[in-house]
């Protein structure tokens, strides 16, 4: 799973040498395995308001070891900083500085999670300043954490309870090994919609999910993860990738649909297949994507057009069919794979970045259209992920690229899949129109 350098410097002599030389010291990340405990130790809930109390009692009901006050020297699995009642920047000091005293007691792969309110809803400049301050605070703190620990934040829109299903869902996601490669990120909970799963190990039980581009890499991993979480999976890829697709379908006990998603009738074919074979359609994961890299000065129409056609135009057309279908109306979920290239830009990828930026714009604008049916749509933007594609990057470039994030290593396809599986779950119903980066807090592209 982890790269050779990470294995070398995470123990023994290698660790000592790396420390003395000031080299990056990535550690193997704690990744979710069914049956594992949610966190690696006690959870400290910091904050004095009623929101903090409510959250603490919700966590107690998950049978976690919840602390309201730190015990010095006791290793902590997580610190949850509840900052939902800030009225001005001065309000940050006390809870933040109290939490600071616990940072040296974090276990490896621990979690720091802020819960605060969205600055866009602030009633005045001081409130907005305090709320926006959390953003800078969390992102900086995440960069200070070591040993696989991550820092992420949950932003509540006005009117959303601190114990809404999606707040708790996001909290569970961030605490767990499912968010191993998500670092320095915020998830905004827009509403009280969504519901907690009956079985936390099978949050997608009874759901029928379609994954495009599922023959290999991240798509195949998404299919496996959705299956593990209880979904029945339809895997889709171009006919030419049909042999690998069949292998994935057989592995996840699903069905294979060989289909070029850029075909005019792709959406209809996907709906028909899911409904005819599996009786329903709950989740569509737009993962299929291609790259045709070229500096813009050398770009030709073929390269430009094919990337736009597959990466964004096809998603738009399929979504139109989904939105029009009576079979996609029971808390439907769409999750698209975007890219950090679409956020930060990437030399040689003007076409790809345009398409992935397009995905994020599409997601934001589609969210209100799905809300009527209790649906949601979100995007996940992977950073450097260890795949067949990135394995082809020349050694030195690859080595630099995979260290350029707070966790100092590349992510796994499964890390992207975990984020998608969460956003596809009932618990994420109150999260829509969002882009979640799975990049280990990549240092470029903010």
- Is residue 259 near another protein by the rule CB under 8 A? yes
d(CA 46, CA 83): 9
Q: Is residue 289 within 8 Å of residue 311, measured between CB atoms?
A: yes
User: Binding to another protein by residue 268, rule CB under 8 A?
Assistant: no
Number of Cβ atoms within 10 Å of the Cβ of 72? 8
Measured from the CB atom, the residue of 256 and 335 that comes closer to another protein is 256
CB of 258 to another protein, least distance (A): 5
- Pick from 200, 246, 321, 444 the residue near another protein by CB under 8 A: 246
Judged by CB under 8 A, does residue 219 bind another protein? Answer: no
Span near another protein by CB under 8 A; candidates 142-150, 197-205, 274-282, 370-378: 274-282
- 291: its two tokens: 């790259």
Beta bridge partners of 337: 380
* Pick from 53, 55, 49, 112: nearest CA to 85: 49
| Of the candidate residues 33, 61, 123, 276, the single one contacting another protein (CB under 8 A) | 276
The full length of the chain comes to 446
State which residue, 32 or 317, has the beta carbon closest to another protein: 317
Q: Quick one: 14 or 242, whose CB is closer to another protein?
A: 242
Nearest to 261 by CA among 344, 322, 317: 317
Farthest CA pair distance, the chain: 63
Q: Which is nearer to another protein, 189 or 259 (CB)?
A: 259
Under the binding rule (CB under 8 A), the answer on residue 255 touching another protein is: yes
Figure out which of the listed residues 254, 332, 410, 429 binds another protein, where binding follows CB under 8 A.
Answer: 254
Cα 403 to Cα 418: distance, rounded to the nearest angstrom: 21
Q: Residue 283, interface with another protein (CB under 8 A)?
A: no
Distance of closest approach, residue 22 Cβ to another protein, in angstroms: 48
- What is the full DSSP assignment across 98-149? HHHTTGGGEEEEEEEEEEEE-GGG-SSHHHHHHHHHHHHHHHHHHHH--TT-
Does 278 sit near another protein (CB under 8 A)?
yes
# residues near another protein by CB under 8 A:
23
In 120-244 the beta strands, taken as DSSP E runs, fall at 150-156, 186-189, 208-212, 232-237
Give the pairing of strands 232-237 and 208-212: parallel
Please state the closest distance from residue 262 (CB atom) to another protein, in A: 12
Calculate Rg over the CA atoms of the chain.
21
How far is the C-alpha of 413 from the C-alpha of 253, rounded, in Å? 20
206 is an interface residue for another protein by CB under 8 A: no
Q: Which stretch binds another protein (CB under 8 A): 142-150, 181-189, 242-250, 359-367?
A: 242-250
Least CB distance to another protein at residue 291 (A)? 21
Q: Is 260 in the site for another protein (CB under 8 A)?
A: yes
**Segment (H or E) for 82:** strand 76-83
Active site includes 5? no
Choose the catalytic residue: 181, 328, 352, 422: 352
Using rule CB under 8 A, residue 245 touches another protein: yes
20, 253, 264, 302: residue in contact with another protein (rule CB under 8 A)? 253
DSSP alpha helix (H) spans, 279-384: 301-308, 314-324, 341-344, 350-371
Angle, to 10 degrees, between the axis of helix 165-175 and the axis of helix 50-61?
A: 70
> Which range in 2-10, 21-29, 193-201, 273-281 contacts another protein by CB under 8 A?
273-281
Q: How far is the CB of 257 from another protein (least distance, A)?
A: 8
Which of 2, 163, 195, 258 binds another protein (CB under 8 A)? It is 258
Comparing CB distances to another protein, the nearer of 175 and 238 is 238
Catalytic (active-site) positions: 352
Binding residues (CB under 8 A) for another protein: these are 239-243, 245-247, 249-250, 253-260, 263, 276-279
């Amino acid at each position: 799973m982890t790269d050779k350098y990470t294995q070398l410097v995470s123990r023994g002599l290698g660790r000592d040498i790396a420390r003395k030389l000031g080299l990056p010291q990535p550690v193997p990340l704690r990744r979710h395995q069914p049956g594992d405990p949610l966190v690696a130790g006690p959870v400290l809930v910091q904050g004095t308001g009623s929101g903090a109390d409510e959250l603490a009692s919700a966590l107690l009901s998950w049978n976690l070891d919840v602390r309201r006050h730190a015990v010095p020297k006791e290793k902590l699995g997580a610190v949850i900083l509840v900052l939902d009642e800030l009225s001005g920047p001065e309000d940050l000091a006390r809870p933040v500085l109290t939490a600071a005293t616990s940072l040296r007691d974090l276990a490896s792969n621990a979690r720091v999670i802020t819960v605060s309110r969205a600055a866009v809803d602030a009633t005045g400049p001081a409130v907005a300043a305090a709320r926006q301050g959390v953003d800078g605070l969390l992102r900086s703190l995440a960069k200070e954490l070591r040993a696989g620990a991550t820092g992420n934040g949950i932003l509540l829109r006005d009117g959303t309870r601190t114990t809404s299903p999606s707040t708790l869902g996001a909290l569970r996601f961030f605490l767990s090994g499912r968010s191993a490669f998500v670092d320095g990120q915020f998830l905004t909970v827009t509403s009280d919609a969504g519901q907690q799963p009956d079985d936390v190990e099978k949050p997608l039980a009874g759901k029928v999910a379609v994954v495009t581009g599922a023959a290999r890499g991240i798509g195949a991993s998404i299919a496996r993860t959705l299956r593990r979480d209880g979904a029945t999976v339809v895997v889709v890829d171009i006919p030419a990738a049909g042999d690998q697709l069949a292998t994935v379908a057989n592995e996840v006990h699903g069905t294979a649909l060989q289909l070029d998603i850029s075909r005019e009738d792709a959406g209809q074919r996907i709906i028909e297949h899911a409904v005819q074979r599996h009786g329903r359609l709950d989740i569509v994961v737009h993962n299929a994507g291609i790259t045709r890299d070229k500096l813009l000065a050398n770009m030709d129409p073929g390269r430009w057009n094919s990337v736009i056609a597959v990466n964004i135009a096809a998603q738009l057309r399929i979504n139109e069919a989904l939105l029009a279908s009576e079979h996609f109306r029971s808390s439907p979920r769409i999750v698209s794979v975007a890219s950090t290239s679409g956020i930060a830009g990437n030399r040689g990828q003007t076409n790809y970045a345009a398409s992935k930026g397009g995905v994020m714009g599409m997601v934001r604008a589609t969210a209100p259209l799905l809300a009527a049916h209790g649906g949601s749509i979100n995007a996940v933007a992977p950073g450097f992920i260890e795949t067949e594609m990135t394995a082809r990057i020349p050694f030195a470039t690859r080595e630099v690229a995979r260290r350029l994030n707070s966790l100092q290593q590349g992510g796994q396809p499964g890390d992207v899949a975990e984020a998608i599986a969460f956003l596809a779950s009932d618990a994420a119903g109150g999260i829509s129109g969002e882009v979640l980066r799975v990049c280990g807090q990549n240092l470029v592209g903010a």
